[in-house]
Amino acid sequence: MNIFHELTAGLRELVRRNKTESELSEELDAYVQNVADAKVQAGATRDEALRAARLEMGGMESVKHQVRAAGWEFALEVFAQDVAYGVRMLLKSPLFTAVALTTIAIGIGANTAMFSLVDAILLRPLPYPKPQRLMVAGTNQRGESPMSPMGTADFLAWRDRQHSFEQVAILDGAGGNFALSGMGEPERIPGVGVSADFFSILGVAPLKGRGFHPGEDRPGATGVVVISEQFWRDHLDFDPNVLNRTLTLDGKQHTIVGVMPAGFRFPPREPVDVWAIRTMNPPQARPPFGLHAFGRLKPGVSMRQAAAELDQIVAQVNAQYPSSTPLAGVMMPMKEWMVSEVSTALLVLLGMIALLLLIAVVNVANLLLARAAVRQREVMVRMALGASRKRVVRQLLTESAVLSLLGGVLGLLLAYLAIRAFLAFGPGQMPRLNEVGINSGVLLFTFVVCVGSGMLFGLAPALETSRPALSDPLKDANRSSSSASARRTHRALLVFEVALALLLMIGSGLLIRSFVRLSDVSPGVQTDHVITAAISLSNNYPDPPQFWKQFLEKLQMLPGVKAAGITMSLPPNLLEITNPFTVEGQGYDRHRKLQLAEEMSVSPDYFRALRIPLIKGRFFSPSDRVEEEKDPMIVIINETMAKQYFGTNDPIGGRIQTGDPNPSSPWETIVGVVGDVKYSGLDAGREPTIYVPYNENAWAGWAREMYLVVRSSGSAQQIVPAIRDQLASMDGSLPLAQVRTMDELLDESLVQQRFRTWLVSGFAALALLLSAIGIYALISYSVSQRTREIGVRVALGAQRRDVLGMVLREGLQLLVFGLLLGWVGAFSATRLMRALLYSTSATDAVSFVATSVTLVVVALLACYIPARRATKVEPVVALRYE
């Protein structure tokens, strides 16, 4: 009741300012008259009485002020006045304002953009109901890699025996696309296989139709799919009768049962067009492991309990497959599973951008400090007239808040553009990008950062300006000198700025060096003149090798084709499978450390197409076809495997077994050793690789989805139409997908690293520029302050060199302190980015030294310009200068 009263009264007064003011004047007037009347009655003359009454009152304005100050609206009014005043002050010095605003806008814009990424990807809960109860389950070899996908056997056991989850489902990690045919040009569309409870666990309702029914993933069930809204629009023209239409995916009929809304994205990295039901047969063997399993915890069940239960079930499966490597069950929250890969990079980038903002803040503080000297006289006048220091500081802080908020508005604009640009041109491959945007949380962040940085860069100058001066600057009317303490603050800030800039530069130096090393890594193949593409055969081909043989023969005949081959995996990072192996004589201890090889089936000319060097033995030959069981199976291994497992012995003729350690597995004979090729990314270590002929019986079934690799004599792209023609002549329904040159593949594999290296280098360049400006401004200012001193020195016989040295020394001093501080910071901070570095130590000497030298050179240049100006000082002019 009272508060309401206060509020309305205050508002009323704000609105009717004039009326209340005149009423107050009138009342005070009447008061004076009444006092005077009393005095007249006591015998004074009218004039005397009035004068005495006014004296007693102690100043009409003062009383009015106190009355006004009694209401809350007064503080608001003062604030509004301060803001208006601040804006006027900023408009009065447009150059200062422009520089300061740009600096702040860049700092805040970059932070806002980065924060909106971090917010959407790392901070916000997943866009599903009760997302904290969503868990991802997988297996690993005890104590080994954090979490690998599950095999079918483990999942089925878990699904049937667990009691911790309301429901569990899988997302098939393999594939990632389907061949769509029967709708115009055949093409590959992004899609995933999922099990029946997939949609109900995530809890997102379809836009149209339904999700999958329980049991629709049983073996033998008819194929059903749910499509994305985008697919509905692009391929089906928003057909209202979309439900129950059929799609031919990988040559098999699927019925559309639902449409998911546009905002639904799972898997979270890239949008998919179709979610197809994946039927699961009880498996023959435990591998392959390719299922991302997840579930929704029952209320009251903790992740720890659920993980323990999973581990028990996996242990039962271990017993069920005695020859398989024993595994452990592991579990993690779904959000962690989605974002853990990018979180380090994002947080390091956010930290670096925060550094950039700090540099911007220090720079603006320095600008304000330089202005403080000019403002001091004005402030002194106000304090002489009775303003308290608190009042003056408040006014100055309001001014810097105005500055930072204006900068923040500009920054928001920049951030908006930056986010748009990032989404359009940045590296796609990041989870939850569809959720990125400027929302209320981001706005709040920006606001807080604005006000915070306003206070940060305003506080030191405000305190400095309002410091009670020993020598009265009012008297010193012609000099605008700053106090010794102001200079100290100024220098300390500059040292800090140099240190921050160095820290950022070292960080970017490390990333650049790491990136250069990574780019220098040879993928093990000759990338020029090579085109690659993906072809996927439908189930209509009972004998895929037969198809490939004919197709490759046709391609070999094309003019310009030097070699054409097919492979399951492509360098530098398109590895499809790894497989355990046993070398003859190694024994079959199933508890030994899992030894995995990258394994793939290839055609004979694959090695020639990529110019993978033959080190020993021979390549595969077309006559190698292994038709019957009694024929020996043959393999080619890479150099690393030869060295690690055969040492000085000749591996040719040696024998290995693949799959889980098992004496009864068939033996495979090594016929050749080839150079190492990177299949798990350029930054991966040396891994054993096993190549098998694509037409070997055991692998024929895998040969449906293959990459084509063609080396041509002309440019790689030119041959593409001819390849398409040949494919169409074989089967018009097969799409030639993911057409890329080998160089492009190499390039794309580095997109993330390249992007963050560029980004951070940009920050570092900005930081360098800002600190150079800061040093330049400080030294210029100091030279202008010392003009008279320099004049005197020159008059007394100082040489040009002496003056130059004197000024440079001042800059050098700051620089040395800044460098030391920056090094200390860098030594302790760069280890945080170790995960982002490739074969580069976090304290890499070259990066440290090179960036420091760059900083010193640029900083000395920034000092040199004003220093040279100092040497041109004419003594006579200087002495008259003041």
| Residues within the interface to other proteins (CB under 8 A) | 2, 5-6, 9-10, 23-24, 26-28, 30-31, 33-35, 37-38, 56-59, 61-63, 65-67, 69-71, 78, 81, 85, 88-89, 378, 381-383, 385-388, 391, 395
Closest to other proteins by CB, 9 vs 444, is: 9
Minimum distance of other proteins from residue 802's CB (angstroms): 40
Strand 655-658, strand 614-617: pairing: unpaired
Tokens of 792: 């005197």
Nearer to other proteins, 24 or 615 (CB): 24
Minimum Å gap between C-beta 472 and other proteins is 16
- Return the number of the residue (384 or 413) whose C-beta is nearest other proteins: 384
CB of 50 to other proteins, least distance (A): 13
Shortest reach from residue 58's CB to other proteins, in Å: 6
Using the 8-state DSSP alphabet, how is residue 498 labeled?
A: H
Q: How many Å apart are CA 759 and CA 634, to the nearest integer?
A: 48
What is the nearest approach in angstroms of other proteins to the Cβ of residue 397?
Answer: 15
Per-position DSSP letters for 775-791, written without gaps between them: HHHHHHHHHHHTHHHHH
In sequence order, what are the residues at sequence separation of 6 or more whose Cβ sits closer than 8 angstroms to the Cβ of residue 291?
Answer: 149, 150, 151, 152, 155, 170, 171, 172, 173
CB of 67 or CB of 207, closer to other proteins:
67
Integer angstrom CA distances of residue 380 from 352, 369, 487: 40, 16, 19
Rounded to 5°, the CA angle 833-836-841 comes to 70
CB closer to other proteins out of 10 and 288:
10
Contact 216, 257 (CB under 8 A): no
Q: Which amino acid is at 169?
A: A
Q: Which of 247, 249, 264, 256 lies closest to 206 in space, CA to CA?
A: 264
Residue 709, amino acid: V
Residue type at position 248:
T
The three-class DSSP label of residue 805 is helix
Q: What does the alpha-carbon distance between residue 503 and residue 334 come to, in Å, rounded to a whole number?
A: 35
Q: Shortest Cβ distance from residue 66 to other proteins (Å)?
A: 5
Helix (H) or strand (E) holding 344, with range, is helix 334-384
- Which residues is 673 bridged to in the sheet? 616, 637
The residue among 330, 336, 334, 329 whose CA lies nearest residue 296 is 334
Task: Please say which residue, 43 or 300, places its beta carbon nearer to other proteins.
Answer: 43
Give the CA diameter of the chain.
Answer: 139
What secondary structure does DSSP assign to 694-739, as a single string? Answer: TTSHHHHGGGGEEEEEEEESS-TGGGHHHHHHHHHHH-TT---EEE
Cβ 530 vs Cβ 710: under 8 Å: yes
Between the alpha carbon of residue 748 and those of residues 165, 533, 681, 740, 751, the distances in Å are 39, 15, 11, 10, 5
- Minimal distance in Å, beta carbon 829 to other proteins? 44
Q: How far is the CB of 409 from other proteins (least distance, A)?
A: 24
Taking the complex as a whole, the smallest distance from the CB of residue 373 to other proteins amounts, in Å, to 15
Find the shortest distance in angstroms from Cβ 781 to other proteins.
22
| Residue whose CB is less far from other proteins, 93 or 343 | 93
Q: Nearest approach, Cβ of 32 to other proteins (angstroms)?
A: 9
List, in order, residues 6 or more apart from 555 with CB less than 8 Å away: 561, 564, 710, 723, 726
Question: How far, in Å, are 8, 74, 456 from residue 14 at the CA level?
Answer: 10, 9, 32
Q: Specify the residue, 30 or 448, whose C-beta has the smaller distance to other proteins.
A: 30
Beta carbon nearer to other proteins, 468 or 585: 468
Query: What is the number of helices (H) and of strands (E) in the chain?
Result: 25, 23
Residue number, 37 or 270, with CB nearest to other proteins: 37
Q: How far is the CB of 6 from other proteins (least distance, A)?
A: 6
Q: Nearer Cβ to other proteins, position 6 or 650?
A: 6
Rounded to a whole number of angstroms, the minimum distance from the CB of residue 398 to other proteins is 12
- Helices marked H in 262-333 — which ranges? 303-320
Judged by beta carbon, residue 73 or residue 696, the one nearer other proteins is: 73
**Which of 770, 779, 738, 849 lies closest to 506 in space, CA to CA?**
849
The nearer residue to other proteins, 88 or 161, going by C-beta atoms, is: 88
